[in-house]
Chain A
Amino acid sequence: MNDDFDSVRLTDVSRHFGRRRALARLSLAIRTGDVLGLLGPNGAGKSTLLGMVATLVAPNTGEVIYGDRSAQRWGPALRRHIGLLAHELHLYAELTARQNLTFFAELYGLNPRDVVDAALERAGLADRADDEVGGFSRGMRQRLALERALLHRPRLVLLDEPFTGLDDRSVSAVADRIRRLAADGGIVLLATHDLDLADGLVTRVALIREGRLLSDEPASTGLRGRYREVVGR
């Protein structure tokens, strides 16, 4: 059986939390090289969708297929191919930057010596490697969290507001990183409210509101206008 995949397909996925509908019969397909921008207002279902693709949220109906198999048929091996940068940063505040990366590298079966120093360098935190993450600014934690999510070179990269708290230079660096990931065969899902940053970065756009997919189309310039036209606010 193939140990990798080149596409992710969501078919009619729905998810309710009690009486609240988070996703309603949503279908999408994403392939390697895609940077799919998930755009929509607050509460549109973007984070739920990312959680579902990350195997953390189960759909009430429908299914998510990775290559030719569902998450259940893949088993734990699927998660080796998934990297998630969520709004909450998945870092231990009490541990240093190096300890955080070392722990997650080992969790993914990697040798920390092969990956941690390079990741700290990319995050621009080599000189703060042995400082506790609790003392970092939001931007520093955001850069570290991105490296944590990409430590194991995942095929499927799920990014929820990756530009939060970053200065201009870091925003450019992260945007370049995302482009490189896609060029190297990654599948990138990017949920963001920042239409200006998404413009020119995403290759496709999925516009979502109240859990429904309003539009799935190739990206074009003038994303803000298109967003207003389809989403309406």
Chain B
Amino acid sequence: MFFRVAFLVLRKDFAIEIKSREILYTTLLFAVSCVLVFAFALVKEGEAPPDAAPAILWIAIMFAGTLALGRTFERERYGETLRALLLAPAPRPALYVGKLLGIVLLLGVAELVLVPLVAFFFLAPFFAKPLLMTLLLAAGTIGFAAVGTLFAAMLMRVRTRDVLLPILLYPITVPVIIGGVRGTAALLASPADEAMATMWLAILAAFDVVFITLSLWTFEVLMTE
């Protein structure tokens, strides 16, 4: 029942997004704009500043993720549909898992555009170690989305949720951003420091496990008014 409900929530979000494409387009537009602004500001005469690419990639992911989180839960606020989901005869953390998977997939699609874009503008060899790079992106995205999904759900009934979400989210996800940036920078070094990248990947994976466990544990209590 748990995974069936998580899948149903994911499929429902996907069906709505396929129809409206609202979140995907706004997230992509925002992320691409973010990268372009950095490119115009930092790239001079075709020369990108060294070590800028990992930071810009992760900043774009983080900002785009915040936007996607807000919009995804705004949809559940309209018509108070989250309350209807909470009434389903399944463990309530299943709803969290469904929402989390949706955000992760959406950010994954955004990253399919962002990674080549940053690689192009900042001459960053992201694809030199494709497996490690993919794992770093996956672990970082899951960590950011795990915390963000919990906070976005918690703040749904708060009037100042758009302001509060980044205020709460960014300090707690600082380890994710540091891990992502450092791990990616290690992969971009010449020669690539795979041991360092693997260490940051392990830290990100530990963060994911801790925060997903905490979220599953607290979701029901936090969602009961």
Q: Which A residues fall within an 8 A CB radius of B?
A: 51, 54-58, 76-80, 82, 84, 86, 88-95, 99, 103-104, 106-109, 132, 148
- Set B19, B88, B224: member contacting A94, Cβ < 8 A: B19
Q: Which size class do B's interface residues fall under?
A: 20 to 34
Nearest 9 CB-CB pairings of A with B:
A90-B84, A88-B80, A80-B89, A79-B89, A57-B225, A107-B88, A94-B16, A58-B224, A76-B89
Task: Determine whether the beta carbon of A51 is less than 8 Å from that of B225.
Answer: yes
B1 in contact (CB, < 8 A)? yes
The distance from the CB of A152 to the nearest CB of chain B, in whole angstroms, is: 8
Interchain CA distance A192-B99 in the complex, whole Å: 34
**A92 contact set on B, CB distance < 8 A:** 12, 16, 75, 79, 81
Task: Determine whether the beta carbon of A95 is less than 8 Å from that of B16.
Answer: yes
Given contact pairs A88-B83, A92-B12, A107-B8, enumerate 13 new A-B contacts (beta carbons under 8 Å): A56-B86, A76-B92, A77-B89, A79-B89, A84-B84, A86-B80, A90-B81, A90-B83, A92-B75, A94-B16, A95-B12, A99-B15, A107-B90
**A51 contact set on B, CB distance < 8 A:** 225
B20 in contact (CB, < 8 A)? yes
The distance from the CB of B209 to the nearest CB of chain A, in whole angstroms, is: 25
Interchain CA distance A40-B90 in the complex, whole Å: 33
- Fill in one digit per residue for B192-225: 1 if any A CB lies within 8 Å of its CB, else 0: 0000000000000000000000000000000011
Nearest neighbor of A158 in chain B, beta-carbon distance: B87
- Set A57, A95, A107, A108: member contacting B15, Cβ < 8 A: A95
Interchain CA distance A109-B89 in the complex, whole Å: 9
Task: Determine whether the beta carbon of B80 is less than 8 Å from that of A90.
Answer: yes
Nearest neighbor of B83 in chain A, beta-carbon distance: A56
Of the listed residues A56, A90, A107, the one surrounded by the most CB atoms of chain B closer than 10 A to its CB is A107
Interchain CA distance A95-B75 in the complex, whole Å: 12
Known: A57-B225, A91-B81, A109-B1. A82 touches B19 (CB 8 A): no
B78 in contact (CB, < 8 A)? yes
Interchain CA distance A132-B18 in the complex, whole Å: 14
Interchain CA distance A91-B75 in the complex, whole Å: 11
